[in-house]
Amino acid sequence: MSDLSLISTPTAAEAVLVGRLRDRDQSAMTEFYDRYSAALYGVINRIVKDEEEAEDVLQEALVKIWHSMASYDTTRGRLFTWVVNISRNLAIDKIRSRQHRVGSRTQGLDDSLAAQRQAAPDTFRPEHVGLQEITRKLVPEQRQIIDLLYFGGFTQSEAAEELNLPLGTVKTRARTALKVLAKLIR
C-alpha cells in the first residue's frame, strides 16, 4: 500500500469513531477532541495568528463538526482531512470578517509582521495527512503559493502583494500547483 493510499483510506478506529459521532455519543466527541484538537488548533492559529481568536474558532469548528457529522462522506476522504477543511475555512472566514479587520488595524506593524512570520506550533503536523510529503514534490515557487493560500489564509491578491508578484503569476502558479497535487493524490 502506498503512502498516498493511506491519505484516503480510513482506519478501523476512525470508522468506529465516525459511527459513534454520528450516533451522538458524547464520549466519542471527547475522544475526537483528544485526538484532533491540537492539530486543528495549530491550523487555525497559523491562520488567525491570535491565540484567543484561535480558541474561539476551534470551539466554533467543534460545534460545526458535531452538528455536521451526517454530511461527512467516508468515501471522499479521511475524517482528519474533512475536519481540517472545516476548521481552515472557519479561520479564513474569521480573518476576512469585518470585526477581525477592524481589530487587526490597531495592531502595530512590527507585531503584525512578526505574527505573519511565526512558525507553526509543534502540535501542527501536516504529515498526518501526507500534505508535507505531497507538497515537497512541487517546485518551490508553487509550494510557496500553496503555503500562503492554504495555510496562510491569504487571498490570491494578498499573496501577490506579499510576494511582490503580478496577480496573474500567482493565479497561474496556484492553478498549476493544484493540478500537480490532484495528480499526486489520485
Residue 184 has pLDDT above 80, yes or no: no
- The per-residue pLDDT for 114 is 53
- Cα 54 to Cα 70: distance, rounded to the nearest angstrom: 25
- Cα 144 to Cα 151: distance, rounded to the nearest angstrom: 10
pLDDT in tens, 110-164: 555 555 555 555 555 444 456 666 777 888 888 888 878 877 777 888 888 888 8
DSSP-based three-state secondary structure for 84: helix
Which residue carries 511565526 as its cell? Answer: 118
Instruction: Average the pLDDT over 69-75 and give the result.
Output: 87
The values of phi and psi at residue 86, to 5°, are -60, -50
Residue 3 has pLDDT above 50, yes or no: no
Residues 6 or more apart in contact with residue 20 via CB below 8 angstroms: 27, 28, 31
pTM of the full structure: 0.53
- Where is pLDDT greater, at 148 or 4? 148
Nearest to 149 by CA among 134, 161, 137, 133: 161
Q: Which domains does the chain have, with CATH numbers?
A: 3-117 (1.10.1740.10), 137-186 (1.10.10.10)
The x, y and z cell numbers of residue 90, run together, are 472557519
